[in-house]
Amino acid sequence: MESVIKLDDVWKKYEMGGTEPLVVLKEISLEIKKGEFVAITGPSGSGKSTMMHIVGALDTPSWGNVYLKNKNVSDLSESSLANLRGKTIGFIFQDFNLLPTLTALENVMIPMELLDKSESEARKKAKELLEMLGLGDRLNHKPNELSGGQQQRVAIARSLANDPEVILADEPTGNLDSKTGMFIMDFLGKLNTEEGKTVILVTHDLDLVNYAKRVIHIKDGKIDKLILNGKHKK
């Protein structure tokens, strides 16, 4: 299978102003292939959130290499990377990250307009996505007029706006009730099995990792173990 994201001996450290630097990730080598459903998990403070930012090309490593669609992100200009990331990865965040002054429809239109799609094309696609997620009667509602579950469905629609190959979901059910959370996870599962989307789930919820075909467990900034079809690999 084709590689979508690859990390090669990635380290991430933060300078602490005169004290020893804080090393958050170390010796991370990982390849995610097209069509996989991968979960990244680990205890609080393990480095999984930092890894999510590295995997999603939202941050750069202190050393080591990150490849997105076989392109080394360090070799790309900021605008080229933003363009490649915008076309390749759709993001879903625990806190939804919707712009409060915009309607549901306008929030979903943003990623398309950033890649220079026309307003009419963006509006049409955003409406289709929101209707697909059962929000056809909420197009003109702002986030504070929506429930948490509805806001997360808007966020999912936004993540799909540019038809990305990869969906990167960071604790997507963290602020939701169990019924809505199950709907979100089932939807991500269908995107993977029926549409061939690569899904990367970042979570500490061990119930959610059952949706994944491969689980990457992070501990103290390193890959502690891989779980594949129920078999542990140290």
Mean pLDDT, residues 108-137 = 96
As to burial, measured by CB atoms within 10 angstroms (0-12 exposed, 13-18 middle, 19+ buried), residue 142 is: middle
For residues 67-89, give the mean pLDDT: 95
Instruction: Encode pLDDT of 155-199 as tens digits.
Output: 999 999 999 999 999 999 988 999 999 999 999 999 999 999 999
Query: Which pLDDT score, from 0 to 100, does residue 16 have?
Result: 82
Burial of 178 (0-12, 13-18, 19+ CB in 10 A): exposed
C-alpha span between 85 and 162 (Å, rounded): 10
Q: Is the pLDDT of residue 106 over 70?
A: yes
Q: Which residues pair with 6 in a beta bridge?
A: 31, 67
Global model pTM greater than 0.85 = yes
Full set of structural domains in the chain with CATH: 3-233 (3.40.50.300)
- Residue 41, judged by CB atoms within 10 A of its CB (0-12, 13-18, 19+), counts as buried
- Taking only the tens place, the pLDDT of each residue in 160-170 is 999 999 999 99
Residue 230 has pLDDT above 70, yes or no: no
- pLDDT at position 234: 46
State whether residue 64 is helix, strand or coil: strand
Average predicted confidence (pLDDT) for the chain: 93
